[in-house]
Amino acid sequence: MKIDRLLGIIMLLIHRKRMKAVELSRYFEVSERTIYRDMESLNSAGIPILSLPGQEGGYELMDGFLLDKKYLTLDELLSIQWALSSIEKATGFEDINELITKINQLIDPETTQDKNIQLHLSDSNHIQTIYKAIQNCKVIGIRYVNYTGTETKRSIEPMGIFLSDYHWYTWAYCLLRNEPRVFKLTRIVETYNTNRYFIRRPYTIEDIYENSDKKSGSDIRPFTVCLRFSQEARAQVLDNFREDEIVDSLDGTITVEKNYYSNDRAISQIMSFGNKVRIVYPKELIPKFIKCLNDIKKLYKDSEEV
């Protein structure tokens, strides 16, 4: 594609300083006339490329171009480099490495020496399988466990992968349910390839969330739970709740108001905080929470008798 070649020319001129038209034509496997037209296009776009005559001549970028953050600031470039490098470590995507190389060539090497900021994402063996299926429009099979613990076998047409709240997800068209769905990768027990291909359906991830909202509106109503945490649970609170759900009290306790769609989900999360949390409301949730605690206690009744 022409846009890829134009970007490639800029990368090469930054890296190699000066190149002749014949060298560029060989590198990109196009004619010299095409390279001449590319240079005209770059100049028209405001990229300051100089044409130097003579045996030692060629094309080069005007001095200071690297420091002229006309399109992206240095901080933005470093942020892109940091994010891509972290994703590469987590996924092993080979094509990301090539993109990182291009970004690195836009940055002064001295500014990339600071390794103090690193992002470590949880690795998943499923990411590469799903990613390749997206690239090749290939149907894949999965064994998936939903939040109630039920395992199903499904065939899906994966459309994208995203990271949200420290977890990887894929959104796909589920051939078992015949509708778009979101799948949490940690709940995928197994992925396996199929010999089937698909034509990408005209869905976006926004369509999936809109469909989910409609279902919630017709079948399940969210309810608000107010929780009171001790100060020692502060780190866990910050890890598990949004900023707009948290209120610091003058007595040092922390109040959280969060919407849940089921008692099971609410109780499960509340129990993870042990004795550092108390339910303020709704009052009807408290006896259900206590019943769950008693059920757990019964599991250890024999141990107490011994």
Between CA 38 and CA 21 the distance in angstroms is 10
Model pLDDT for residues 10-45, shown as the tens digit of each residue: 777 776 678 888 888 887 778 888 888 888 877 776
The DSSP call for residue 19 is: E
Beta bridge partner(s), residue 192: 141
pLDDT in tens, 153-210: 999 999 888 766 556 788 889 999 888 888 888 889 889 888 899 998 887 776 666 6
Are 183 and 142 spatial neighbours (Cβ–Cβ below 8 Å)? yes
**Residue 306: exposed, middle, or buried by beta-carbon count in 10 A (0-12, 13-18, 19+)?**
exposed
Give the pLDDT band (50/70/90) at residue 8: confident
**Average pLDDT value for the chain:** 75
pTM over 0.75: no
Question: In terms of pLDDT, which residue wins out, 88 or 34?
Answer: 34
CATH number of 2-67: 1.10.10.10
Q: Domain limits of the chain? A: 2-67, 74-112, 125-219, 223-301
CATH code, residues 125-219 = 2.30.30
